[in-house]
A = this chain, B = another copy of it.
Amino acid sequence: MPKKAIIAAAAIAVAASGAQAQSERKQLDAAESDPAKLGWMQGTPPPADKQVKFEDGSYFRFPQLRWSFSNWRQFFPTLPLHRGDAPVHAFPRAERDDIDALTFTPLSGDKPMSWKEALGANYTDAIVVLHKGKIVYERYMGVTTAASQHIAFSVTKSYIGTLAASLTAEGKLDPAKLVTDYVPELADSGFAGATVRQVMDMTTGIAFDETYTNADADIIRHARAGRAAPRRADYNGPDGFLAFLPTIGKQGEHGERFTYRTANSDALGWIITRATGIPVREQLEQRFWSKLGMEQDAALVVDAQGTPFAGGGLMVSLRDMARFGEMMRQGGKWNGQQVVPAAAISDITKGGGKAEFAKNGAYPTLPGWSYRNQWWVSHNDHGAYMARGIHGQAIYIDPKAEMVIARFASHPVAGNVAIDPTSIPAYEALGRLLADEKRN
């Protein structure tokens, strides 16, 4: 099959998973499913048919999720990441009027699409583009505003991975050590025998089903243990993310291939807490929130033990997410201070094993990519790399174009394979435009 057909087939397969319900949900386009227009949670109290609830699962159903993702905090107990009292870093503005009309060819089609059309095709909630540290483009849609703290889902992992890479560069964490050297509680689990590096790069052979549409998949059971998914009244499973991790078994060999499993990120959070004696929440606050001129305190979903959901619990404003991306693009420096060691940044941008990534087979939209320190690395001619979360959350950093894109979305489909076709080529085209290159 030619590449485009593979991508189209993969997108259809993802869209079809969850069968009829999911395909019905797909019928509303971005304008039709606009959460402001549908009136979710309007009124005091909202009428019963306009309520979006955690307990009944409606918070995670399309089209309600278009409201939920910008209002995630009211479904979960959270802890703050305090910004402290440092001044806000206000991005200079140099907005361009040539971006909306920029065209590109989606991965799964032949017809060109404009940047502006792509925002709808992607069910974008909010997007900001920085060029050389200035805002050149910024849009908010539906119920999402500059103040909204949108759930970042697995973009959270890249913050944790950057912490781990930083601690490694600073000699406080040894990726060559075994997971169990730091966390003996995992000795009887599928993590036994894995190195910290394998956890950081998701090449462990743990048994962990990451199928979001299967209510009994490990990813859902893991979330349930951490109160991040509804429990049935008779729930008697593990209580807490760190109580769930030791129950995970083994499925393959460690180190052989990349397999995206959220449990690795939560194990990594546990490891770096043990390595430093400092909880992940405090480390995120000390290293990032107190230093990057953030606009807001952010929030982290926590379980009943106060452990943050390292695999996907960050709620953050769009521009604060962009500040993190911009610090990465600047080689870890912010305001003259080295917030993340330069060695950590280069260890991320050089990427991971392309062969291990290719063996996976589930990422037709990411040919030639790799995964390193919880970041997705394109190895394209701009050296772009990404933080990625389900339903379209993204940070896209293009070092050559000196561009950072932060995007929130509420696509009906979880898997980014359905979202990449109208996103990645758009980002690449914008990178070429901003770098003053001819289109190819």
Q: List A residues at the B interface (Cβ < 8 Å).
A: 41, 44-46, 51, 53-55, 71, 73-80, 82, 85, 88, 147, 149, 233-234, 240, 242-243, 270, 273-274, 279, 295-297, 299, 302, 304-307
Contact between B296 and A44, CB atoms less than 8 A apart: no
> What is the count of identical protomers in the complex?
2
Cross-chain contact B297 with A44 (CB below 8 angstroms): no
Question: CB distance A44 to B233 under 8 Å?
Answer: no
Closest to A79 in B: B74
Known contacts A53-B304, A297-B296, A304-B54: does B80 contact A45 (CB below 8 Å)?
no
Contact B85–A295 (Cβ < 8 Å) = yes
| Residues of chain B within 8 A of A274, CB atoms compared | 44
Pick from B73, B270, B279, B305: contact of A79, CB below 8 A.
B73
Indicate if the CB atoms of B82 and A73 lie closer than 8 Å. no
**Cα–Cα distance between A78 and B77 once the two chains are bound (Å):** 7
Asked if B305 and A80 sit within 8 Å, CB to CB, the answer is no
Q: Contacts A45-B307, A51-B304; is A88 near B88 (CB within 8 Å)? A: no
Interface of A is mostly: loop
Q: A234-B233, A297-B297, A304-B53 are in contact. Are A45 and B78 (CB under 8 A)?
A: no
Bound-complex Cα distance A296 to B299 (A): 13
Q: Within the complex, what minimum Cβ distance (angstroms) separates A77 from chain B?
A: 5
Contact of A77 among B73, B82, B85, B296 (CB under 8 A): B73
List residues of chain B with CB within 8 A of the CB of A88: 85
CB of B80 within 8 A of CB of A77, answer no
- Which one of A54, A80, A85, A233 has the highest number of Cβ atoms from chain B below 10 Å of its Cβ? A80
* Shortest Cβ distance from residue A414 to the other chain B in the assembled complex, whole angstroms: 23
Cα–Cα distance between A80 and B295 once the two chains are bound (Å): 14
Q: A279's contact among B44, B75, B78, B242, by CB below 8 Å, is which?
A: B44
Residues of B within 8 A of A305 (CB): 41, 45-46, 51
| Between-chain CB contacts (< 8 Å), 26 pairs | A41-B306, A44-B270, A44-B273, A44-B279, A44-B307, A45-B240, A45-B242, A45-B243, A45-B305, A45-B307, A46-B306, A51-B305, A53-B304, A54-B77, A54-B304, A73-B80, A74-B77, A74-B78, A74-B302, A75-B77, A76-B77, A80-B149, A80-B296, A80-B297, A85-B88, A233-B233
Q: How far is the CB of A98 from chain B (nearest CB, A)?
A: 30
Known: A270-B44, A307-B45. A78 touches B73 (CB 8 A): yes
CB-CB nearest in chain B for A90: B85
Q: Which residues of chain B come closer than 8 Å to A299, judged between CB atoms?
A: 80
Contact residues in B for A149 (Cβ distance below 8 Å): 80
Q: Which residues of B contact A54 (CB under 8 A)?
A: 77, 304
Q: Which B-chain residue is minimally distant from A147 (CB atoms)? A: B82
In the bound complex, CA of A80 to CA of B297 (Å): 9
Closest to A149 in B: B80
Tell me how far the C-beta of A59 lies from the nearest C-beta in chain B, rounded to whole angstroms: 10
Residues of B within 8 A of A79 (CB): 73-74
Q: What is the minimal beta-carbon distance from A72 to any residue of chain B, in angstroms?
A: 10
**Measured between C-beta atoms, what is the minimum distance from A417 to chain B in Å?**
32
- With A44-B242, A74-B77, A297-B297 known, 14 other A-B pairs at CB within 8 A are A44-B270, A44-B274, A45-B240, A45-B242, A45-B243, A45-B305, A51-B304, A73-B78, A75-B77, A80-B296, A82-B147, A82-B296, A85-B295, A296-B297
User: What's the Cα separation between A29 and B144 when bound, in Å?
Assistant: 49
Complex CA–CA separation, A77 to B79 (angstroms): 10
- Please report the C-alpha to C-alpha distance between residue A149 and residue B78 in the assembled complex, in whole angstroms: 13
Highest count of chain B CB atoms <10 Å: which of A79, A299, A302, A306? A306
